[in-house]
Structures are given as C-alpha cells and as structure tokens.
Chain A
Amino acid sequence: MSEHHITPLKTYLVIAGALFCLTAITVWVSYFDFGSLNIIIAMGVATFKATLVALFFMHLLWDDKKNLTMFIMSLMFLGIFITITLLDTGFRGGVNPEVEYPINKRAAFYDSLPLTDTHGNPVDEHGTDSHEGDEDHH
C-alpha cells in the first residue's frame, strides 16, 4: 500500500497565517473607496483565500487530479449559471425599456412602516427632540 501524502506541519501554519493576513488586508482596504474596483478587490482576495484553502487544506494539490477537475467543473457550471442569468436580467431593457426594472418599485408595505430610530423603535418626528433634551440633564 502506498502511503498517503503527509503535509509538513509548517505548510499548514504558513497557509493559515496567509489566510489571516489576507483577511486583515481585505477588511483594511474596505475602508477606502475605489469605486467599482471595491467588488473586484474583495472578490480577488476572497478567491485567492479560497484557492489556498482548496489546494492545501482540502489537499487538492496532492490528490489525484480527478478531484480537482470535479471541483473546477462545479465552479465552471456556477459561472455559466451566473452569466446566462445576467444575460437575461441585465439586458431586459434593451428589448423593452418598460420591463427593465420590473420589481424596482418600492414594495407597498413600506408605505405603512413608521420611521424608526437605530434601535428599531418607531419615532414620531416631534417627540425625538424633547427626549434627547431630557438625557442632557443627567
């Protein structure tokens, strides 16, 4: 019987360290606004982290390549799923502008929702000021 590959302990610790660093980086850059690049940077870092997890923690790097093939196939089908769906939902307006955002109208139940404070309690616009005034005396 051929022995299974045993990864050195150091490899696992280095990969975990890299995952922590990349997490810190992705949180740190989220405080800057790069416009539309925000999504690309965040997804790029996430994909790099996911690759490390799949190759090293899930042992795909040392496995029979049929397992890696299957995993990549699932991601390819996910890509097809997203692309084909967006080809519909993203270009409806090209056929008929009226159906471009068929559900973009505000849902009706918002009309009956009262405004709330940050704790979710309803506020009536005149009452808030006096309440805040009370707290100042403490």
Chain B
Amino acid sequence: MSHDNSSPDFLQHHFHDVDQQYETAKLGMWAFILTEVLTFGGLFVAYVVYRSWYPEMFVGANLLLDVNKGLLNTIVLITSSLTMVLAVWAIQQKKQKLSLFMLIATFLFAFMFLGIKYLEYSHKFEVGQLPGEYYSYMGPEIAHLNNPHIFFSIYFIMTGLHGLHVAIGMGLIAWLIYATAKGNLHSKYYTPMEMIGIFWHLVDLIWIYLFPLFYLI
C-alpha cells in the first residue's frame, strides 16, 4: 500500500491535505447536526408548551401508546447505533467484510424500526387516535380528558419527522453498503461512513428523548 499522501485520488484539489479535508467534512457535518437539533427543537418546544397547558391530558393520553413496542424500538435503534459505530471501527482496521456486514445489520435494524412503527401507526389509524380534526377515539379511559387530539398531533409530527430521518438514513446506509462493497471506502478514506454514522447516532439520540416523553411520562 502506498504511503504517499501528497495526492491520493480521494483528496479533492481545493484541500491542502487529507487531514484538512477530513476535519472540514466533520465541521460541516456538525453544522448540519446543529440545524437538525434546532429543527427538532421547535417541536420539543411545542411539546413542552402544550404539556404545561394540559398536564393531566398528556399523562392520560400517553397510556394509550404501547410501551412494549416503544421499548422494542429503543432496543432496535440502540443496537443499530452500535452496529453503525462498529462498521466505522471495522473499516478503520481494514476489516472490509466485517464493516460491510455491520452496515447491512444497521440497515436491517432500521427497517425493523420502521416496521414496528408501521404496526403502531396502523393501530392508531384503526382506532381513530389521529391528529387534529381526524381524531375520533373516545374510549372509556380517555373520554373525560381535555383535547387529547393535541397529544396525537404532536406525537405524529415528532415521530413522523423522526421516522422520515430513519428512512433517509436507510437510503444513505444503502449507498454506504454499495460504496464499501465496491471498495471505494477503505481504511485511508472512510469519511462518508463516519459522517453518515454521526447522522445515524443523532437519529438514535432524538429517539432517546422521544421514547420517555411519549411512552413513559
């Protein structure tokens, strides 16, 4: 393997050297993560404000969510975060095959997450626990509560935007699988894998908050 780093083929001409290219990519990724935190931040503010206005309703309405499915999704997503970080670890050590295997595992866990989410959503559509004016559920445990449709509006928007991030992450991971299998990513150049990894951990990090906020308290 050549150790001549003066101009490896993955170094773009506008960067001084490989290190600068790597650090620049990382800074850009964190700038993007900052905008992501603020995007979800607006929705977290909505949650906090409405919870402060309707404390009893939130406590009552979260009992309608299935804790087991939420817990299972938490475990699935943490596991996928672990496999993602191990994919980066493996490619750093020149273990291409292990890296590929870990990426495929991450993709499958992401798919599993969306599958469980689909089961949850379809149940809510069936019983009418829907956002805004589409809300029609008046079961005995909730009929006395004030405006539970607001809880479900926030639930669907927040988990929906999170689910969209999972779906986008799946697309990015699929591309990583392709690039790794083709040999475009290797121990000297794995920047895209590390950046998509950071994105994927953000998706995990947001779910770490969504799970207790909607399912537990």
Residues of A within 8 A of B (CB): 1-2, 4, 6-7, 9, 12-13, 16, 19-20, 23, 26-27, 30, 38-39, 42-43, 45-46, 49-50, 53-54, 57-59, 63-64, 66-67, 70-71, 73-75, 77-78, 81-82, 85-86, 89-90, 101, 103-104, 106-107, 109-110, 113-120
Given known pairs A4-B92, A12-B89, the reply for A23 and B74 (CB within 8 Å) is yes
Could you list 18 examples of A-B contacts with CB < 8 Å?
A: A1-B19, A13-B82, A23-B71, A23-B74, A23-B78, A26-B212, A27-B67, A49-B208, A50-B209, A57-B81, A57-B204, A67-B30, A82-B41, A85-B45, A90-B52, A104-B54, A106-B147, A115-B138
Q: Which of B112-120, B126-134, B165-173, B177-185 contacts A (4 or more CB under 8 A)?
A: B126-134
A6 B37 Cβ-Cβ under 8 A:
no
Q: Choose one: B86, B137, B143; the contact of A12 (CB below 8 Å).
A: B86
B52 A86 Cβ-Cβ under 8 A:
yes
**Minimal Cβ-Cβ distance residue in A for B93:** A6
Complex interface residues of chain B between 166 and 217 (CB less than 8 A to chain A): 194, 197-198, 201-202, 204-205, 208-209, 211-213, 216-217
Q: Choose one: B17, B41, B54; the contact of A1 (CB below 8 Å).
A: B17
Among A1, A6, A66, residue most surrounded by chain B Cβ atoms (within 10 Å): A1
Q: Which of B20-28, B103-111, B156-164 contacts A (4 or more CB under 8 A)?
A: B20-28
B1 at the interface (CB under 8 A from A): no
B147 A89 Cβ-Cβ under 8 A:
no
B122 at the interface (CB under 8 A from A): no
B216 A27 Cβ-Cβ under 8 A:
yes
Inter-chain pairs besides A6-B89, A116-B137, A120-B126, 5 sampled, C-beta below 8 Å:
A12-B82, A43-B212, A57-B204, A115-B139, A118-B140
